[in-house]
Amino acid sequence: MSQDAPEPIARTSLIETLRKKLQEDILSGRYPAGTSLPPERELAARYGVTRTSLKHALIELRSFGLIAIRHGIGSIVEDVAARAGADALQYMAQREGGWDLRLFVDLLEARALIGGLFGRVAASRRTEADVESLREALGGARRTSRDPHGLQVAENLFMRRVTETTHVRTFVFLSNSISAVYARTLDAFGGAFEDGDWVTGSLEEIFDEIRDGSSAGAESAMERYLTESGKRMIAALEEQSP
């Protein structure tokens, strides 16, 4: 198997940087919920960019539910807890360059609980085709079980297949939002995939339960694996950034 692309160097565009900065200022309470942001012209001057660029960043913030932009009025800061959607997680979990460990732990717990639910539903609805698709993904994991990075990719695929087996499209989107938080920093979690036998063994167990249509079994197998896997991811993270 060919080596995967070596993760293109992260370039930070101005807009990207600007959005992060604004977001940080909002999340840190500098611009409290319910208040107006300074006018675009002033904000642009303050951050030293054009109004056009600033606007790009504002529109992106709006799409995450962090602000509401109203013609003739201004940009109003929304209550994050009340409005921000799941896609905002990927930006909230990485603040100021580092990880927000508390939120990340929270996220992984949610992943484990929801994964359990997915396993349960998947077991009760799997078709022949689903089982085959899962078997194939499992095979991929087995073949690459000694390469942490490859295994990580294979595990992700397997989990995606489990989610698809629920036949609930909304679950796939929810799952994407969660994966997106750590997907772009896969390398940071290599340490969680060094014990290849444990990973493949766990996936096999999950596969067996789903194949057998055992809802309760699949639920607990998923939840157990994801919980332990989450712990290892956290550990890997703490090793890197002391």
> Which residues make up the interface to a second copy (CB under 8 A)?
11, 13, 15, 52, 55-56, 59-60, 63-65, 71, 81-89, 103, 106-107, 109-111, 113-114, 117, 121, 160, 168-174, 176-178, 180
Residue 131's binding partner, choosing from DNA, a second copy, none, with beta-carbon cut-off 5 to 8 A by kind?
Answer: none
Q: Which does 65 bind (CB under 5 to 8 A by kind): a second copy, DNA, none?
A: a second copy
User: Using CB distances below 5 to 8 A depending on partner kind, what does residue 214 bind out of a second copy, DNA, none?
Assistant: none
In the complex, the smallest distance separating the C-beta of residue 198 from a second copy, rounded to whole angstroms, is 25
Beta carbon of residue 49, minimum distance to a second copy (angstroms, whole number) = 14
Closer Cβ to a second copy, 145 or 219, answer by number: 219
Residue 102 buriedness (CB in 10 A; 0-12 / 13-18 / 19+): exposed
Nearer Cβ to a second copy (64/200): 64
User: Among residues 75 and 166, whose Cβ is nearest to DNA?
Assistant: 75
By the criterion CB under 7 A, which residues form the site for DNA?
Answer: 11, 13-15, 37, 39-41, 49-53, 55-56, 69-75
* Residue 40 binding result from DNA, a second copy, none, given CB thresholds of 5 to 8 Å by partner type: DNA
Residue 41 contact, options DNA, a second copy, none, Cβ 5-8 Å cut-off depending on partner type: DNA
Q: What secondary structure does DSSP assign to the chain, as a single string?
A: -PPPP--PPPP--HHHHHHHHHHHHHHTTSS-TTSBPPPHHHHHHHHTS-HHHHHHHHHHHHHTTSEEEETTTEEEEP-HHHH--GGGHHHHSEETTEE-HHHHHHHHHHHHHHHHHHHHHHHHH--HHHHHHHHHHHHHHHHTTT-HHHHHHHHHHHHHHHHHHTT-HHHHHHHHHHHHHHHTTGGGGGGGG--HHHHHHHHHHHHHHHHTT-HHHHHHHHHHHHHHHHHHHHHHHHHH--
Nearest approach, Cβ of 67 to DNA (angstroms)?
10
User: Binding partner of residue 74 among DNA, a second copy, none, CB under 5 to 8 Å per kind?
Assistant: DNA
Shortest gap between Cβ of 39 and a second copy (angstroms)? 18
Whole-angstrom CA distances from 42 to 45, 72, 213 are: 5, 15, 60
Q: What is the nearest approach in angstroms of DNA to the Cβ of residue 103?
A: 27
Q: How many CB atoms lie within 10 A of CB 153?
A: 17
